[in-house]
Amino acid sequence: MKENRITIRLEDDLSRRLDRLSKASGVSRSLLIRKAVAQYCANQVGASSFYEAMKPHVGIYEGPTDLSTNPKHMEGFGRGSTSPG
């Protein structure tokens, strides 16, 4: 894979923190920055739709399969009072 060289500027504090993390983990500053950028980009792009974001949760719950399309599930909804008094 072809790599492109870029230059970044870091505040002193952030540069020191990066140095400490690099030494503690035994990983180069470049690799730490590449991983951070890759993770940031993945989080920004994220899921392309609400469905994609919720896909891992689809089908894991029990209940009526037609809850969103069958009007009988709404019968009586909002009628009456549940508050005391």
Report whether 73 contacts 67 (CB < 8 A).
yes
Does residue 85 form part of some domain?
Answer: no
pLDDT at position 11: 96
- Please give the residue range of the domain that contains residue 52: 12-60
Residue 82's pLDDT band (boundaries 50, 70, 90)?
Answer: low
Task: Give the 3-state secondary structure of residue 7.
Answer: coil
Does residue 23 form part of some domain?
Answer: yes
| Residue 54 or 30, more confident | 30
CATH number of the CATH domain containing 29: 1.10.1220
Does residue 47 form part of some domain?
Answer: yes
Q: What is the pLDDT of residues 36-69, one digit of tens each?
A: 998 887 777 665 777 777 777 877 778 888 888 9
Does residue 25 form part of some domain?
Answer: yes
Does residue 17 form part of some domain?
Answer: yes
Does the global pTM surpass 0.85? no
Does residue 72 form part of some domain?
Answer: no
Report whether 35 contacts 25 (CB < 8 A).
no
Does residue 46 form part of some domain?
Answer: yes
Does residue 4 form part of some domain?
Answer: no
pLDDT at position 58: 78
